Homo-oligomer: A and B are copies of this chain.
Amino acid sequence: MTIDPESALRIRRTESLTSIIRRELERMIARGEFKAGERLNENALAAKLGVSRGPIREACRGLEQSGLVDVVVNRGVFIREVSSRQAAELYELRAVLYGLAGRLLAPIVTEAQIRTLSGYLDQMDAAIAADDLNAFYPGNLRFHETIVEFCGNGRLADECAAIHREMHLFRRRALDMPGRMAISNAEHRSIVARLAAHDAEGAAAELEAHVLTSRVALFGPVGAYPDN
């Protein structure tokens, strides 16, 4: 692989190899380029990315802390396998966090923000009309991301982003999507309506229920967890 030496060096001044590699690995994990439980070979990665093992190892320690990989002493780092139980637990967290986002956003939301969110709703409706899951999914993602961004609690937004990255590790995640697009977007419209009405508790309840709908459909009642 040939790299423009200037750009490579220019990047290095403001960013460490470790952070570049970490982002790259996160991207690869998000795109599912590794199998669950697969081992990351440090030598192979180092050779592939053209660096030494030091930055690779440092990047992996970051990934470990964010829950994307498991590190076993003397054996290596493995792409984390998220069990159904852990996914169910994550959905519960996500539900209350989105609920909080709605409660915070409703009192302060602006007309422009409502228009932005409504734009996403229309895009998703178009994807539904075209029966295009590949268009619906990123729209859905951006809709939720935007709400937590607007809510004013930056830490909440970070936490939601981290949970979302982690959810990519759960392979069966697509199950809740196929036939639910229309229902899902109806719930989205309801959420935006509550936000526009500055109804904090209503928006919180709608958002929480919206997430829990998927959780219950996939794993059963809240507080009960699948075995594996």
**Interface of A with B (CB < 8 Å)?**
13-16, 18-19, 54, 57-59, 61-62, 64-66, 73-74, 86, 89-90, 92-93, 96-97, 99-100, 103-104, 107-108, 152-156, 159, 222-223, 225
Contacts and interface: CB of A to CB of B under 8 A. Distances in A.
Contacts of A107: 223
Nearest to A85: B154
B223 A108 contact: yes
Nearest to A95: B100
Contacts of A93: 97, 100, 153, 155-156, 159
A200 B141 CA distance: 30
Contacts of A103: 223
Contacts of A54: 54, 57
Contact of A58 (B13, B14, B19, B61): B61
Contacts of A61: 18, 58-59, 61-62, 65
A119 to B, nearest CB: 25
A16 B73 contact: yes
* Most chain B beta-carbon neighbours within 10 Å: one of A59, A159, A225: A159
Given A61-B61, A65-B65, A73-B15, A153 B108 contact: no
B14 A156 contact: no
Contact of A96 (B59, B64, B99, B223): B99
B92 A222 contact: no
A89 B156 contact: yes
Contacts of A58: 57-58, 61
